[in-house]
Amino acid sequence: MRIIFTLIACFTFIQIINAQVPEDAVRYSWYPQNGTARALAFGGAMGSLGGDVTAAFVNPAGIGFYKTNEAAFSPAFILNNAKTNYRGNNLQQKQKNFSLGTSGFVIAVPNSFDSKKSNAFAIAFTQNANFNNVIRYKGLNNFSSYSEKFVEEFVGLNTTIDNVLNTNSIAPYTAATALYTYLIDTVRVNGTVIVKGAPEYILDAKQALMQEMTKTTKGGMYELGFSFAGNDGEKLLWGATVGIPIVSYESNTLFSENDTSSNTANNFKSFSFNDNFKTTGAGINAKVGIIFRPKEYIRLGLAVHTPTYMSLTDSRQSFLRTELENPIQTEETSSDRFTENKRGEARYIQSTPLRVIASGSYVFREVEDVTKQRGFISADIEYVNHKGSRFSSDAEQPTIDEQAYYKQLNAVVKDIYKGNVNLRLGGEVKFNTIMGRLGFGYYGNPYKDAPVKSNMLTMSGGLGYRNKGFFIDLTYVHLVSKDFDIPYRLQNTQTVYADVKQQRGNIAATVGVKF
């Protein structure tokens, strides 16, 4: 498997540095269900329903319901509104972007020997997670400084300043830039030489720092799926999807600290740290499922999604500007100075957690005549083992240091995340060619121990029209999420965080044709 991932990765050599943190784990596992506009409208509860191309990414057995060929395309438009609270200060940030719901082709293959049996193929594309967002928060902090993160990292290296300040540094993005601009430096306290951040002089004087964070993220986690499903006598349906996820994630973080006092001799005035990194890569996964119909109108589904194994590449660059006082001095540098004037690049393998979906649905009037079809209700319950995400080196023979780091990283992931339960519920009422739908979704807290009990709620509604071989669906999904953002973590110190409450409107459409 590693050989395959190695081949997928490009072979060019740039400075290669592994760069993974525990927050990377939940990014690729905690997101609301995406789908066609029709599926989104009834909450994405596709685990047992089938007959919609969304089933390829939820329960592939649902593709087995297809007796006709179909092509569907699902563009979407997203409006984000993030409200933050950081140490008593509220801010709001709006952002909008295009998205893509589940789109693809389904080809039904009737069985020449038994009319009660059939098969179906599907090739579908979807955006599992949408990373386009802006979070901004600002507030006074009398407790800790971002510079202490640089201090702890430098002390943890147990090495000299000269060893860090190098054109091929061992800590180019944080400690090297901080030491170069004197944001952190050595100082003698009570006869002991310690490392100290310049903003700590403000905190020691019982004053507060004005901190501001703007995090802009872009991209998405897309997936191309190849499904095959079978219908065995209208009683048991089975299916499998081989998925190829494609990751494109870009993060631009701008964090600044300012001395708000008028004192020009307290050693520190301000710093701004700009951290940019981009993650790209691809992987592979499988989804298998069955749908059982114990009685006509009743469908029971069970699906298992294997972990996704992804080969990812991070490229990173940072920029730091520090303004000091007493004496007044301003220094700035890019991390390129410490990475041979090239962006650093890291390659690694990440696996996402296992998912299990159990579901049931009741369909009113499963008849061929469209005028007599009346509607359905459907519900999914999903378990995601978020603590099961794992990181590993992409090297054939990782060093002892790498092995130790990944072991500790995986232990932290296991320690701070937990399995969660997601619920999806929805239904449709059908009036000949017009359909109305409502749905609801709840995505539980993936954190074992967090300052905020995070969750996501979705409420959705939509309309559909099907006639003369074509169909069009329109849906609005309103997502309300409660989460938090941690600008930096320090050892043996309470972690400062910002409350993040987000509302997201998703206007989705699907146009399709039966052929």
Partner 1 sequence: MKTVLFFLAIIALASCSTAYKSGQTPDDIYYAKGRTVVENKNRYERVEKVYEDRQIRMAAYDYRWRTLDAQYDYDYRYNPYSYGYNYGYYYNPYYCSFPVYNNNVVFVNPKNTTIRTTNLNSYNNNISVYTPTKSNGTLRTTVVRGYNNDNNQTIRNTDYRTDNNSNRTYTPSSSNNSSNNNSNSAPASTGTPVQRPSKGSIKNLEQDNLLAFLKSKM
Q: Find the binding residues for partner 1 in span 86-125 (CB under 8 A).
A: 86-88, 98, 100, 103, 108, 110-115, 118, 125
At 46, give phi and psi (nearest 5°).
Answer: -105, 10
Asked whether the beta carbons of 456 and 481 are under 8 A apart, the reply is: yes
- Compare residues 434 and 442 and give the one whose CB is closer to partner 1: 434
- Compare residues 125 and 255 and give the one whose CB is closer to partner 1: 125
Among 107, 136, 210, 451, which residue sits at the site for partner 1 (rule: CB under 8 A)?
Answer: 451
At 160, give phi and psi (nearest 5°).
Answer: -85, 160
- Compare residues 387 and 442 and give the one whose CB is closer to partner 1: 387
Tally the residues of the chain. 515
- Could you tell me the smallest distance in angstroms from the CB atom of residue 487 to partner 1? 11
Residue 1 engages partner 1 in binding (rule: CB under 8 A): no
- Compare residues 288 and 402 and give the one whose CB is closer to partner 1: 402
Among 26, 41, 45, 171, which residue sits at the site for partner 1 (rule: CB under 8 A)?
Answer: 171
- Could you tell me the smallest distance in angstroms from the CB atom of residue 318 to partner 1? 11
C-alpha separations of 473 from 41, 42, 486 in Å: 9, 12, 39
Quick one: residue 270, left, alpha or beta (phi over 0 = left, psi -120 to 50 = alpha)? beta
Residue 434 engages partner 1 in binding (rule: CB under 8 A): no
- Could you tell me the smallest distance in angstroms from the CB atom of residue 503 to partner 1? 20
Among 90, 92, 94, 167, which residue sits at the site for partner 1 (rule: CB under 8 A)?
Answer: 167
C-alpha separations of 312 from 27, 242, 249 in Å: 13, 19, 10
Q: In DSSP terms, which residues pair with 410 in a beta bridge?
A: none
Contact set for partner 1, span 255-294 (CB under 8 A): none
Residue 344 engages partner 1 in binding (rule: CB under 8 A): yes
Residue 246 DSSP SS3: strand
Q: d(Cα 104, Cα 74) in Å, to the nearest integer?
A: 9
Query: What residues have CB less than 8 Å from 132, skipping those under 6 apart?
Result: 78, 80, 95, 97, 99, 217, 218, 219, 220
Contact set for partner 1, span 293-312 (CB under 8 A): none
- Compare residues 356 and 402 and give the one whose CB is closer to partner 1: 402
Contact set for partner 1, span 180-199 (CB under 8 A): 180, 182, 185-186, 189-196
**For residue 78, how many C-alpha atoms fall within 13 Å in the half-sphere facing its CB?**
23
- ∠ CA(94), CA(139), CA(218), 5° rounding? 35
Among 17, 41, 122, 425, which residue sits at the site for partner 1 (rule: CB under 8 A)?
Answer: 17
- Could you tell me the smallest distance in angstroms from the CB atom of residue 159 to partner 1? 4
Contact set for partner 1, span 481-510 (CB under 8 A): 489-499
